[in-house]
Structure 1
Amino acid sequence: MKKVAFIGLGVMGYPMAGHLANAGYNVTVYNRTHEKAIAWQKEHQGNIALTPKEAANNCDVVFICVGNDDDVRAVTLGGNGALASMAKHAVLVDHTTASAELARELSKHCQQQHISFIDAPVSGGQAGAENGVLTIMCGGEQHIFDQVKPIMDAYARFSQLMGDVGSGQLAKMVNQICFTNVVQGLAEGFNFAQKAGLDTDKLIDTISKGAAGSWQMDNRGKTMCAGEFDFGFAVDWVRKDLAIAFAEAEKIGAELPNTKILDQYYKEVQEMGGNRWDTSSLITRFQK
């Protein structure tokens, strides 16, 4: 498998597609804003397409990383969608954080055309994409996962097949529930520390070595305390992801009381103008 397409060159997709090109794959990219595709081509010497259909033509694997369920449908279905030109036995891999329902819907479309499908949302943020160390949660068939994993290794440090189609998206929902609640704890704790007059740099260097330590503390603790919120994963996007988790929780009868409160806190951050701040900006809600 050497010829691949990458559809969606946002803060995650742009570097992910770049890692594929750097690994020696023949990469064709498509992005809704064509200028972004031109910039990517100048940097990585790959190919650009004017439609998802053109990008996917004759490719062994087509990767997608766009915004939401509707965006995925827009680039896969219809006359100009990727499925319109994908060959039999090719593989469609969706890295978008979307609903499990969409994953199952896409899988059915693929089955009708003898195309394989993997839902494969990622975790690790913009830095993880740029450094090629993402974690990927996948849903689909084992032999198809085994086929695409070596390609995804170009930008991932760990990939795991979680189960049938949709399982990757369900695992990503759990990831979002867990990490946002960790951010909430850090926001409350560091706001307390600042009001108590503690040196937060020394505090983080100390408590990160104990039971309070986490990836979020190591990577966002000091910038959170410094009021720096320009690290990729925006408040708008986390609320989109949580809405997906809430809809699924309603279906399966799972309670998410703390996460629902946290979602409303993020709504307050949006109302403060923080739509594009990263998720660590939650601390501003307590500093009002």
Structure 2
Amino acid sequence: MAKTAFIGLGVMGGPMAGHLARAGHDVAVYNRTEAKARDWAQKHKGRTYTSVAKAAEGVDIVFSCVGNDRDLREVFDAAASTMRKGAIFVDHTTASAEIARELAAKAEELGLGFLDAPVSGGQAGAEAGRLTVMAGGDPPSFAEAQPIMSAYAANMTLIGPAGSGQLAKMVNQICIAGVLQGLAEALHFGKRADLDIEKVIAAISKGAAQSWQMENRWKTMDEGRFDFGFAVDWMRKDLGLVLDEAERNGSKLELTKLVDAYYADVQAMGGKRWDTSSLIARLERPRS
């Protein structure tokens, strides 16, 4: 059993830290909103601290799941000030590959391990302990962290050196954006064609068109329900990272740019916190 700290107890971090505690690991937590940390500690019989530095002191692994590059840099610097040599910082934030490389270099100078390890599977995956982890970093750090991450992850892959995990997560988000736009247009077309959508999905979901999004989102998309899941604001943040990286590496992401603009339409419709499947909402608007 490992001595750990978990920084950031949002819709992803809270359940992930909970799985660590249930697996028997010693878990210290920090959250910017102290009440959330106290509630977590009471539920899971963990320890809560009012600073990142205190939570990270003397632990084997510090996990983080925060908002963006700036938050991550602040958390890392605070944690690194008290982490023991040889400890590992594992970041589950969806952030840029640049910040991952920057922090990996800092960690190496300080005698720390570092993994950029964004996740896929959403809130449901975090709560079920069935997340997918895409990691960047050195093999020894991954080998040490992997059995501990298994408390909340079903699939874990070391993609390559620092930054590779974030780049793999960008590939993931590109795929999801394209699939959701295709599914939105398909359902919209089927409804306008007066088809029985349930029968159509039953037929095509067993063939080449099948996807996780189809299986898990077609019904709520058909019903126009989006008050759950991965928020449009978060997806636009992720796609912003993707498009910035594409500028750097020269890749052509024409569809991704288009879908990002469609998500901007959904935000303008009041859907900032709607699930990403709400792309269909802009197609279903009454025709003027």
TM range (shorter): over 0.9
* Matched AA of 2:32: R
- What count of residue pairs does the alignment treat as equivalent? 285
The C-alpha deviation readout for 1:103-129, integer Å capped at 9, x for no partner, is: 011111111210000000000011010
Counterpart amino acid of 1:54? K
- What aligned pairs does 1:93-104 form with structure 2 within 5 A after superposition? 93-104=90-101
1:169-203 alpha-carbon deviations (Å, 9 max, x no partner)? 00000000011100000000111112222222222
On the 8 A contact 1:11/1:232 being kept in 2, the answer is no
Could you list the runs of 5+ residues in structure 1 that have no partner in the other structure? none
The aligned counterpart of 1:150 is 147
Q: CA deviation at 1:282?
A: 0.7
What residue number does 2:242 align with? Answer: 245
> Which residue is equivalent to 1:59?
59
* Alignment match, 2:159: 162
TM-score normalised to structure 2 length: 0.97
Report sequence identity in percent: 59
The aligned counterpart of 2:6 is 6
1:21 paired residue number: 21
Correspondence for 1:180? 177
The 1-side partners of 2:52 and 2:215 are apart by 38
- For 1:130, the equivalent position in structure 2 comes to 127
Q: What is the TM-score normalised by the length of structure 1?
A: 0.97
Per-residue Cα deviation, 1:202-246 (whole angstroms, up to 9, x for no partner): 222221111110011111111111112133311011111111111
Match of 1:92 in 2: 89
> 8 Å contact 1:204–1:222 — kept in the other structure?
no
Q: Provide the rounded CA distance (Å) in 1 between the counterparts of 2:206 and 2:198.
A: 13
The 2-side partners of 1:27 and 1:72 are apart by 19
Amino acid at match of 1:198: L
Report if aligned partners of 1:100, 1:169 keep a CA contact under 8 Å in 2. yes
**Which residue of structure 2 lines up, in the alignment, with residue 211 of structure 1?**
208
Q: Give the C-alpha shift of residue 16 in structure 1.
A: 0.4
Work out the CA distance in 2 between the residues paired with 1:232 and 1:179. Answer: 14
Question: Which one-letter code corresponds to 2:51 in the other structure?
Answer: T
Deviation string, structure 1 residues 232-272 (Cα, Å, up to 9, x no partner): 31101111111111111111110000110100000000000
Pick from 96, 115, 119: which aligns with 2:116? 119
Structure 2 unmatched runs, 5+: none
Is the Cα–Cα contact under 8 Å of residues 126 and 231 in structure 1 kept in the other structure?
no
Which of 271, 274, 279 matches 2:271?
274
Q: 1:199 pairs with 180, 196, 200, which one? A: 196
**Retained in 2: the 8 A contact 1:64–1:93?**
yes
| One-letter identity of the residue aligned with 1:25 | H
